[in-house]
Amino acid sequence: MRIALLAPPGVQSLDIVGPAEVFGEAARRLGDPSAYTVQVIAGSAEPVLGTGGLRFLADRHIFQADEPIDTLLVGGDPTFETIDPATVQWLRRRSSTVRRLGSVCTGVFLLAAAGLLEGKRVTTHWECAARLRAQYPTLNIDSNQIFIRDGNLFTTAGVTAGMDLALALVEEDYGRDLALIVARYMVMFLKRPGGQSQFSAHLAAQMSGKTKIQQVQQYVLDNLAAPLAVDSLAERAGMSVRNFTRVFRREMNMTPTEFVDAARLDAARLLLEDSGKSLQQIALRCGFGNADGMRRAFVRNLGVGPGEYRLRFRSAWADTTLPSPNHPVPSRP
């Protein structure tokens, strides 16, 4: 399969390098370099300057004769101050000839400019979602997802989400075992579910710049089994409930209750992946009350129950061994 990675000027370098590494490692593990042939495509014959000072010497450019493409992924420029009309025209033409089309991070702006997102549900980096809505108000944008599939269209969140998407495509093409082996080799999460929120409670707590709010967040993370009602958290912050909720939402773009729910979900996921504790033990430790309450939270947020989550993610890390290049995993039938 030929994987084409479109690199616009100023491309976020990991939008290109990340997926390329995933597909390349998958082909190596299969023992078949032709399983995935990765090509970088540019808008001209000139080298493309990416972020971090990296330069990409593209394999092809859009003015050359077309070659078959199985999967076309579009990288993003963090600024996208200008969008090349010739690239937009090329995307319109090639989009109907590929099996799968997708964007990484702000690459969605190029697909939107080409008119390829109407009627589709899409995502992008949370920091760019407002701008995308302003420029393309008719789009159905969900800025809280790692990646979204709508038919043969894939859109992703921030730069590392492109690697999550590439792993999902590897799984679709060659099966779950290979995707998990690649993920383990690359020291990634096994596979973050496509519907997983871009938000991490632990990361958000570190990013908070308000001392009182930060202290409350840390208290939540350290006391997940406690009731953690909003009024008790407001009292701990020395604020009224109304003011506490207002300040929390302003700083975090979410309510205190949403933060507590996300923190409990984060902690439960880690315990499911890394421990042998029972579902009931994890539910009590993380403040869900019982296993049924935890199950409802998992289904609502991740689309799978905790038992299935553990089966899919923990067992593969614990039990899958890396085959040597001389003994690759079998290809799909």
Write out the catalytic residue numbers. Answer: 105
- Of 273, 317, 254, 267, nearest in space to 126 by CA: 254
**Residue 292 Rama label (left phi>0; alpha psi -120 to 50; beta):** alpha
CA distance 26 to 47: 27
- Tokens at residue 266, please? 């984060």
- Neighbouring-strand partners of residue 155: 103, 148
Residue 53 C-alpha from the chain's centroid: 24
Note the residue count of the chain.
Answer: 333
What is the token pair recorded at 13? Answer: 């370098």
Question: Distance between CA 104 and CA 282 in Å, rounded?
Answer: 35
Tell me the C-alpha to C-alpha distance, in Å, between residue 208 and each of 128, 143, 203, 216. 20, 20, 9, 11
- The label of the residue with tokens 């799968």 reads 100
- Residues 6 or more apart from 39 whose CB is under 8 A from it? 2, 3, 4, 5, 59, 60
